[in-house]
Amino acid sequence: MASFAGAYAASHGPLLIREWQAVPAAERSRLENAFAELGRRLRAATPDVLIVVSPDHWSNFFLDNYPAICLGVGAAHEGPPEPWMKAFAHRDIPGHPELAMHIAGTALAQGFEPSLSYRMKLDHGACIPLSRMGLERLPKIVPLLVNSIEPPMPSLARCYEWGTLLRRAIESYREPLRVAVIGTGGLSHSIGEPTMGAIYEEFDRETIRLFGSGKDALIDYLQKELPSRGNGSEEVRNWLVAHGAAGGRGFELVDYLPVPTVIVGCGFAAWRPQDSSRP
């Protein structure tokens, strides 16, 4: 049977690539160290497959068809389409269609209704963390795109439930794989709004604190605060998927720092693996 190899989270703002050399040295060093630490932990977990939970930044979908959830079930995925992501070495990214279709079947049997894609473009949302973590070898990738870009979006509670569903699907898959989950995006930032560039550090720190206390208080807080904390902050949904996969337990902050140069409250986290049979 497959086993759950851990959950992780990381920010992914485009300026982490495009303005990297403009980031002050002390902040750049902390960002490098945080990505490297996630990479070290991920390598130590030895996953065969990595489920990457990210939004789609208009690379696969537009307003004429923007699914709430889309699962990549193809044997391969395309590398990022953004020209400034050309340094990302992987242009053809292997998937794991058998596990992905098992997740899809488990989802449908449990009343979840994801869209499916057999050929998906993985944009900067997925690929900046994969690039910055310094992974010499990519695990096979199963992308899960969660709409945090354009309302209506899946509810916060449903995103957490998606995480618990992923855990059930992983642990019921018959092949002896090790499967990890990474949620990418957030924390607070504002793009194309009158508040563009704002970072809400107090919101970020309270969100981080509440990740350490389960899910109910966290979801209540986010429901109240997200509408006024910048549109990019909606990407915390992807962290909730990782949180659900970890059973809402074991959250550990790797680092958090607001970085005005990249206009993102940059967060990095990992969850200590827990036995899903324990309460």
The residues carrying an active-site annotation are: 124, 189
Neighbours of 212 (CB within 10 A): 13
Residues 92 and 192: their CA atoms lie apart, in Å, by: 31
**Phi-psi category of 46—alpha, beta or left, where left has phi over 0 and alpha has psi -120 to 50?**
left
Tokens 């049979």 locate to: 277
Residues 79 and 122: their CA atoms lie apart, in Å, by: 5
Residues 6 and 242: their CA atoms lie apart, in Å, by: 9
Q: Which among 6, 4, 3, 2 is positioned nearest to 183, based on CA atoms? A: 6
Contact (CB, 8 A) for 132 and 11? no
